[in-house]
Structure 1
């Protein structure tokens, strides 16, 4: 079995998104705008007629998934492998703070090279591979011809998508960063996946 369509949906906005803080796998709730974004996006994703909703178990993703679940009457299945990249000791820090303390990381980031997010965190490739594996398992356990929605986190979903497309990590800069509550649509194409649309957002979201 393989789903006919995989929709990846980033969670709505949080206060740490606004402040530019590294969230990683910390529990940071949606802010009021994030709740509105999830509710605004849900009708568009519902129109794709999903048969399953699978979400990261972090609260901001679960709350986003819940907006769709209420509309379509489906349960939300939790998948911890969809969590954001583990940033270890950098949780709560801003880009400016991380870049000042680790200029080598900043240089690697802007050059498209991979780097570990603190001594206790993951590399981008590790996070992307983890999420890509989860997405493949989700798609393959969904009946043929059906659409499944996977709710997760911006960076990890972007790198995972690059891997599903058969590209290397360096190509993650080719795709724009996922906006809060944006959804993207992929379709199986043999051993790889085809990207049908990217970074869609509801009007005003």
Structure 2
């Protein structure tokens, strides 16, 4: 059995005030730092052999707290960043975005993401995120666990795609809490005739 644990970063001030972050390098606030400290021993108890993290500050700070508890160093990887939401959305609440950029907001609501300047689509994110996850699990030996620290929206699309689920089922998964984590396991099952495959074992566990 191999195991992959995927953790959303701790809270930022922008999370608390409903401001979109995307690729903005927003640090954890005091609550987020406390969340990272609290979750660290829970994940360290799983004895991960490696920690990979988005290079954005809020994820990297979270990963460093957990990695230190594990006696490891977190490896930064820009492939597991959050969605790039375009320059006009960053730092704004939904209401502010609708007021300042009504055409873009209307396109977002309509699902016409590809028309918004600078905004990544689901396909864009999957093209970088899923190969990253694949490279991590390929490095795992039997019985080993790895930790990945990333972002809520990106994880909601990447996890189903990595598992081979059809369509876009991310919206049917609950929103990950700050420092909520996901557990994937690669093992055999009698339901599949003993064939080994990756399975979702837990979604949005919290300390």
Q: Same fold (TM over 0.5)?
A: yes
**3-state SS of paired residue (1:130):** helix
Alpha-carbon distance in 1 for matches of 2:167, 2:29: 31
Asked if 2 retains the 8 angstrom alpha-carbon contact of 1:54 and 1:151, the reply is yes
- Which of 180, 194, 198 is matched with 2:203 structurally? 198
What's the TM-score once normalised by structure 1's chain length? 0.88
Match of 2:65 in 1: 67
Asked if 2 retains the 8 angstrom alpha-carbon contact of 1:20 and 1:94, the reply is yes
- Which of 28, 45, 48 is matched with 2:43 structurally? 45
Asked if 2 retains the 8 angstrom alpha-carbon contact of 1:128 and 1:157, the reply is no
**How do 1:153-168 and structure 2 match up within 5 A?**
153-168=151-166
Shift of 1:69: 1.5
Which range is displaced more, 93-102 or 55-64?
93-102
**How do 1:1-205 and structure 2 match up within 5 A?**
4-89=2-87, 90-100=89-99, 101=102, 102-108=105-111, 115-116=113-114, 118-188=116-186, 193-202=198-207
Alpha-carbon distance in 2 for matches of 1:146, 1:15: 35
- Structure 2: 5+ residue stretches without partners: 188-194
Shift of 1:138: 1.0
Asked if 1 retains the 8 angstrom alpha-carbon contact of 2:107 and 2:115, the reply is no
Shift of 1:142: 2.3
List structure 1 segments (4+ residues) > 6 angstroms apart after TM superposition: none
**Higher radius of gyration, 1 or 2:** 2
What's the TM-score once normalised by structure 2's chain length? 0.87
Alpha-carbon distance in 1 for matches of 2:59, 2:7: 9
- Structure 1: 5+ residue stretches without partners: 109-113
**3-state SS of paired residue (1:145):** coil
Shift of 1:85: 0.5
Alpha-carbon distance in 2 for matches of 1:128, 1:54: 17
Note the aligned Cα RMSD (angstroms).
Answer: 1.9
Alpha-carbon distance in 2 for matches of 1:191, 1:98: 46
